[in-house]
Homo-oligomer: A and B are copies of this chain.
Amino acid sequence: MPSFYLSGMKKEQGVAEKEFVAKADELYLPQLSIDCVIFGFHDDQLKVLLLQWIDSNRWCLPGGFIFKEEHIHDSAVRILKNRTGLSDIYLKQFFAFGDPNRARGKHVFKSSSLMKGSDWLMKRFVTIGYWSLVEFSKVVPVPDEFSKECTWCDIDKVPDLILDHNQILEKALQSLRLDLNDYPVGKDLLPEKFTMPELQRLYETILGKTMDRRNFQKKALALGILERLKERKQGGAHKAPYLYRFDTKKYKKALKEGLKFGI
Interface residues of A (CB under 8 A from B): 29-32, 66, 68-73, 93, 95-96, 98-100, 124, 126, 128, 178, 181-182, 258, 260, 262-263
Contacts and interface: CB of A to CB of B under 8 A. Distances in A.
A180 to B, nearest CB: 11
Given A29-B124, A29-B126, A72-B126, A181 B99 contact: no
A157 to B, nearest CB: 24
A93 B124 CA distance: 20
Contact of A98 (B73, B99, B258): B73
Nearest to A97: B72
A68 B124 CA distance: 8
A124 B72 CA distance: 12
A263 B98 CA distance: 33
Given A181-B181, A181-B260, A262-B260, A100 B69 contact: yes
A49 to B, nearest CB: 22
A70 B102 CA distance: 11
Contacts of A29: 31, 124, 126
A95 B73 CA distance: 12
Contacts of A69: 100, 124
Given A70-B100, A262-B260, A32 B181 contact: no
Contacts of A263: 260
B258 A178 contact: yes
Q: Which 8 A-B pairs have the closest CB atoms?
A: A72-B98, A262-B262, A69-B100, A96-B96, A96-B128, A30-B30, A260-B262, A29-B31
